[in-house]
Structure 1
């Protein structure tokens, strides 16, 4: 629902690879309006970011003054609007003082791109997830443990003393999509459906016998042909096998740790179930709330440091 923008103070933006989320905010941190778009980074050339943003928010901008836009995610990547250089771990989640200021043609906006985090050695990068981590730490400043951020590329981040100490990325979500959409297994799975028992059995099998996963994946196709394996069970087993080998590799992160999973449905639920099966009781937090909290924290620092 559109509300009056008389008290618009700043704009929070999460500009991902495939989607853009905008929150129009007042000076108390209250959301006046939320806008979602499929104009993600992958569909835009650098010169198209500003027109896309203005097209979505232009009618809400005041005629006078400049509204800060605090942006996290892939808009700050090398292929995005402008590159926001990475901060190097171990480090606090980077905030507005490390942001890249974008020159805009429209004087009504001032755009700040938050940087991601890089890790060397054990080369790794994150961009967007660090803002969710900042959002979680804004509510839990003394947290010492591990944050799991499921998605196309799942991140496991070790947090201590307010810093991202180390992290590891797994391409599990992308592998799942490739297997379900482009491999022979596409004939065995449906678009939805879930079999919790099949998932949990697959997680257990993958963790105990990770070297057998490639063969067990093809068995799903064979059981579809020979035993009429249900498509929901097939989909759940693929997910369980892939998450299982990820959990096996990520064991140093979650074993004996306080674990938080960012997300409360879908794939986040699957990760929580897999961890629970292994005796690691993770708690879940809402991903969108963590992103917005992180952007709020960055904006708060901006107004504190602006003369």
Structure 2
């Protein structure tokens, strides 16, 4: 029997876990019905289409994190200002539904006023990590389309910065002049390490070095795998240089895609910094489980 649903609703994906009260996963489902594909009145039908058969006869609590709580999502879940603990069920937005068996709660994101920054979804992964590591003090890095560097102290999100490194890589490799050169899908560890070192030592000529990738492809037959790897290294290296105040001398934990986290771990390792790698999906689920446990406490 499904006691509640854990939902991670991103821009491009929908993931649902059918859960027992004890936190056991009964089944996991997912599709591409992300926030970016739905109108506001399309969220409830999308959830029912994917997981409606998992509902019982009574009300089923549904705990949602991610972009479903954005201004363009199912219902806007207001940001909580940092410094703060990762916001939980007490800050969630309850969403009215047509289906009487649903009781939907969307967790809020976190905002920072100076410098202006926001996160939505990552705070639940952070909550999950802290549930498993309650004494952690240091920095959590969440590599992705918009990579986050988050300073954690005494269980709070103290401050954070977002870097559009992943989005820049996608745009440059797929839509810029570099798409003709960086079309490989392999990986060259040496080229990556060299590009990281180059970018970190001098970020002022990044734009010129990016165009050199194209020129070397034309003049020196730079291999497409090396070109793509160099592009990644230059962008991540520039990010690490800017994020140095966050990671220098800190205990760093990585939450994200395994392949991308390995690249960040290798880059930070070259700076003499050991890092802890975690499973992103598990952190999301642990954060949602913590929210459900708090919900049960308030209803008992």
* Superposition TM-score, scaled by structure 1 size: 0.96
Distance 2:139 2:52 in 1: 40
- 3-state DSSP of counterpart to 2:61: strand
Distance 1:68 1:266 in 2: 34
The one-character-per-residue Cα deviations of 1:19-40 (angstroms, maximum 9, x if unpaired) are 1111111121111110011010
- 3-state DSSP of counterpart to 1:211: coil
- 3-state DSSP of counterpart to 2:204: helix
Corresponding residue for 1:253? Answer: 246
Alpha-carbon contact 2:187-2:226 (below 8 Å) kept: yes
Alpha-carbon contact 1:264-1:285 (below 8 Å) kept: no
Alpha-carbon contact 1:263-1:269 (below 8 Å) kept: no
Distance 2:82 2:253 in 1: 20
CA RMSD of aligned residues (A): 0.8
Q: How many Å apart are 1:191 and its aligned residue?
A: 5.0
- 3-state DSSP of counterpart to 1:266: helix
Corresponding residue for 2:63? Answer: 70
Corresponding residue for 1:110? Answer: 103
- 3-state DSSP of counterpart to 1:164: strand
Unmatched segments (≥5 aa) in structure 1: 1-6
Unmatched segments (≥5 aa) in structure 2: none
Distance 1:24 1:115 in 2: 21
Out of 191, 202, 206, the residue aligned to residue 199 of structure 2 is 206
The one-character-per-residue Cα deviations of 1:232-256 (angstroms, maximum 9, x if unpaired) are 1101100000000100000000000
Out of 254, 275, 278, the residue aligned to residue 285 of structure 1 is 278
Runs of 4 or more above 2 Å deviation: none
Alpha-carbon contact 1:264-1:284 (below 8 Å) kept: no
Corresponding residue for 1:41? Answer: 35
* Superposition TM-score, scaled by structure 2 size: 0.99
Distance 2:195 2:205 in 1: 11
Distance 2:62 2:256 in 1: 25
- 3-state DSSP of counterpart to 1:225: helix
Corresponding residue for 1:4? Answer: none
The 1:271/1:98 distance shift into structure 2, 3 A limit, reads: same
Out of 73, 81, 84, the residue aligned to residue 74 of structure 2 is 81
- 3-state DSSP of counterpart to 1:69: strand
Question: How many corresponding residue pairs?
Answer: 300
Distance 1:213 1:194 in 2: 21
Corresponding residue for 1:31? Answer: 25
Q: How many Å apart are 1:264 and its aligned residue?
A: 5.8
The one-character-per-residue Cα deviations of 1:261-289 (angstroms, maximum 9, x if unpaired) are 11362211111111111111111000000
Corresponding residue for 2:55? Answer: 61
